[in-house]
Amino acid sequence: MKMILSFLFVLGSLIDLPNLDSITSALSQGNVEVLSTYFDESVEISVADEDDIYDKAEAKTILTNFFATNKPSKFDQVHKGTSKGQDSVYCIGNLNTASKTYRVYVLLRVEDGKQFIQELRFDEE
């Protein structure tokens, strides 16, 4: 019984992720303005072999450049979940662009019911 209640609690917390829905929608459109509203103070961004931690302004520039050369056509969410302690949320999906497909990993920190993007990874398929 305890296990069922735990499962229902986790499932309920996964269903109520409006920020994650906004983020995946912004990814499918390449909308950096919307994405940047969810950035944490620093964001780790990885594109192919380039990986670094950026402040909000730098992260915005990196993503603007990425989407300028990789115009998205759609983003399909494959999996999402929460950490055991419920202090982070993640999403994995496929971003189709005009020339390539990327496997995208988004990690969000949860604090006081708000979600902040801590990491964005774009790995070529």
How far is Cα 80 from Cα 31, in angstroms, rounded to an integer? 21
Options 1.20.1260.10, 3.40.50.620, 3.40.50.2300, 3.10.450.50; CATH of 17-124 = 3.10.450.50
pTM value is: 0.82
Helix, strand or coil, per DSSP, at residue 87: coil
Question: Is the confidence at residue 14, as pLDDT, over 90?
Answer: no
Mean per-residue pLDDT, 113-123? 94
Average pLDDT over residues 8-33: 73
Q: Which of 80, 59, 69, 56 is nearest to 102 (CA)?
A: 69
106-115 tens-digit pLDDT: 999 998 888 9
Q: What is the pLDDT of residues 64-96, one digit of tens each?
A: 999 999 999 999 999 999 888 778 999 999 999
Classify burial at 104, counting beta carbons within 10 Å of its beta carbon; exposed 0-12, middle 13-18, buried 19 or more: buried
Q: What's the confidence (pLDDT) of residue 8? A: 38
| pLDDT, tens only, 26-59 | 999 999 999 999 999 999 999 988 899 999 999 9
**Residue position matching structure tokens 């005009």:** 98
